[in-house]
Amino acid sequence: MDAAAEALLRQTVRRIPSSKLNGVLGRWGCLSEAQLGSLESMQPKWLLCDNLISLCRENDLSMKHVAEVEMLYCIENPKRGMWYAYQMVETDDEAQSLELMHFRERFKAHLKDLIGHVSIKLKRHQDESVWIRIAWGDNFNRPNHLKPTYVMHHLQTPYVFVSGLTNKHKPLLFQALVLAAGYSSIKNAHLNGRCITALRDLLMRQYKQVFPSSCPKPLKESNPLPNPNIENEHAKLVEHKQRAAAEAFGYEDPPKLERATYKLETKYREHGNESLNGRDEPFRGVVKFTSSNLLESLKYCITSGMASTPLTPLLSSITQKGRNYFVIRDKGPSIASDTLGPDH
Amino acid sequence: MSSIKPFSKLPQLNTANVLLVENEGKLQNDLADAIVQQENNVNVTVRLARGLPLPAENEENRPRIDLVVFIVHLSSELSLVSTENSLKQLDTGYFLGKVCFLVTGARCGLVPDERLVSLRKLAGSLHCPLLFAEDQTREGVSTAAQRVLKILRVSAGLVPMVTGLYLSSLTRCTVPLDSDGSVQD
C-alpha cells in the first residue's frame, strides 16, 4: 500500500457519510468480518481512516482494491459533478449483439493502445448499466487516481454519459469507446446535468409520459373527498393546463435537470432602420434558465398561467429531443426570427 | 362568458357565498379549505376562479355571490395585471361593499415597492378594503380566512344592523396622498 493509495482511501472515506460507510466497506469484500467489526463508525473520521489503512496494510491491499471502493460508492451515489451525454452514431450489426466480456476486452485493449499509463476498471451495476472508471496518466506520471473519469453506458444503446473528462483525454476515450462498441463516430448530445438517472430517463424516454389523445382520461383524482362547499369555476381550464404541462414535461416527477441554454443568432428586421437592418453579423445572445429542478418549474409556469398554452416548441423540445442546449439561427429573410417564451 | 351581478339572484337562508379570484391558483385551495372549516354556524360556499369573466356553463348552479376577493401576489407582476383586467369585468354593484383585496408577499424585501403602491391606489380609488396575508404558513392562511369570513358575514347580511357598504366605508383603503409612496391609512 503506497502513499497514493493511502491518499485515495482518505479522500474516499472523507466523502462517504458515516452512516453509509459500513455498508460500502461490507460490499467491498476486502476486509474480513472480524476486521469490519473492529471499525467503529462512531469514531472520528481521521481515526477511523488510520485504523482502516492499518487493516489494509495487514491484508496487503493495493491501489487496485482502493480504487474499487471508490468506484462502488460512486456507482451508488453518482451526484458528484456534471454529467455530459454523448451519442454514438452509425452502428454496424455487431453492436446489437455485443456482450460485456467482449466489450470490456476490446475497450481495454483499444485504450491501452492509445495511451500507456492508464488504469481502467469496468463494472456492471444491478440495472444492467456498465460503469467504467479511468485514471489517466501520461508518459512521465503514474495514473492520477484522485481525479478519475467516470463513464456510464448501457450496452446496445447509443448513449454514453461521461463525468470528469478533460479535453486532453476526450479524443482518446471516444476513439476507444466507438471502436469497442462497434460504431463509427460519436457526437455531443447537448444534454448535461447533475442527476445521471434523469439524463438517462430523458434520452431513453423512461420517465412517466402523457401522450396527446382525442378522448383524454382524467389525469388523477385531484381530491378523494371533494368538499361540496368548494367549487372551481375554471375546473376545465385547470384540467386542460395540467394536461398540457404533463404532455410537455411528463407526469408527476419529471426528470431533474438544472439548466437549459439557448444561444440566439438572430437578425434585426424592421423597416426604416437601415443601420441595424444592413448588418451582416447576426445579433448574438444567450438565454439561460436555471433552477434546482427546471422541468418542474416550467410545468408550474404552465399550470399557474405564467406561460401561455400551447407551449412554444423551444421549451417542449427539451423533453422531445432530449437536449438542454440549443442554438437558434436565423435561416433567411423570409422566416421571422424565433421568439422565446416568457422569462421568469 | 357570463357576468355576475350582486342582486340578480335570490339569496338563500343562512348562506354566504364567496368568490376567490386568483390567477396562479397557489393560495386559493388552502384558503378555501380554511374558510369552510372555520365557519360552523353559517353554510359557506366558496367558488374558485382564475379570473373574470366566469365561464357561462356554470351560470345555472352558481349561487348569488356575496363577496368577491381578489388575491394578489406581489411577487408577480402578472398577478396584478390580471387582477386589473378582471376588475373591469365586474359589475359596478359589487363595489358598494362587496369587493376586497387580499395581498400576499408584502413583507418580502425583494418585491418592488411600486406594485404595492399601485395596488393601494387601485383599492383606494375603488373604496375597497385591502387585507394583508401570509401565504407560506398554516397560521397565516387561517388568519386570512378569519378576516375574509368577518367581511363575508357582513356583506352577506348575516350581521344585524351592519351592511357591507357601511363596513366598507370604515375599512376602505385610502388613496395615498403623495406620489412617492408615503401612505396614510
Chain B residues in contact with A239 by the CB 8 A cut-off are: none
Task: Provide CB contacts within 8 A for A233, sequence distance 6+.
Answer: B19, B47, B48, B49, B50, B54, B55, B58, B62
| Min Cα separation B126/chain A (Å) | 25
**A58-72 tens-digit pLDDT:** 888 888 888 888 888
Nearest CA in chain B to A234: B49
Domain finish residue from A58, A76, A94: A76
3-state secondary structure of A77: coil
Same domain, A56 and A132: no
Domain finish residue from A36, A59, A76: A76
pTM for the full model?
0.76
**Host domain of residue A144:** 83-202
Domain membership of residue A16 (yes or no) is yes
Same domain, A102 and A198: yes
Chain B residues in contact with A227 by the CB 8 A cut-off are: 32-33, 36
Same domain, A14 and A109: no
Q: Which residues pair with residue B2 across a beta bridge?
A: B54
Higher pLDDT, A233 or B48: B48
Number of domains comprising chain A = 3
B70, B83 contact by CB (below 8 A): yes
Same domain, A26 and A89: no
In this prediction, residue A344 carries a pLDDT of 37
**Cell output for A288:** 439561460
Q: Tell me which CATH code domain B15-171 carries.
A: 3.40.50.300
In this prediction, residue A214 carries a pLDDT of 66
Domain membership of residue A138 (yes or no) is yes
Please compute the mean of the pLDDT values over residues B82-105 and round it to a whole number: 90
Domain membership of residue A295 (yes or no) is yes
ipTM over 0.90: no
Domain membership of residue A214 (yes or no) is no
CATH of the domain at A178: 3.60.90
Contact B24 A305 (CB under 8 A): yes
* Widest Cα–Cα separation across chain B: 47
Give dist(CA B89, CA B111) in Å, integer. Answer: 27
Contact A229 B76 (CB under 8 A): no
Contact A304 B43 (CB under 8 A): no
DSSP string of A198-224, one letter each residue: HHHHHHHT-S------SSPPPS--S-S
Domain membership of residue A211 (yes or no) is no
Domain membership of residue A37 (yes or no) is yes
Q: To the nearest whole number, what is the mean pLDDT of chain B?
A: 86
CA distances from B101 to A38, A41, B17, B19 (A): 67, 57, 16, 12
Domain membership of residue A227 (yes or no) is no
**A281-323 tens-digit pLDDT:** 788 899 999 988 898 888 888 888 777 777 788 888 888 888 8
> So where are chain B's domains?
15-171
Q: Which residues pair with residue A285 across a beta bridge?
A: A264
Contact A233 B78 (CB under 8 A): no
* Chain position carrying cell 482502516: A52
Domain membership of residue A322 (yes or no) is yes
Same domain, A37 and A99: no
Contact B36 A227 (CB under 8 A): yes
Same domain, A241 and A154: no
In this prediction, residue A220 carries a pLDDT of 60
Same domain, A340 and A241: yes
Give dist(CA B65, CA B47) in Å, integer. Answer: 9
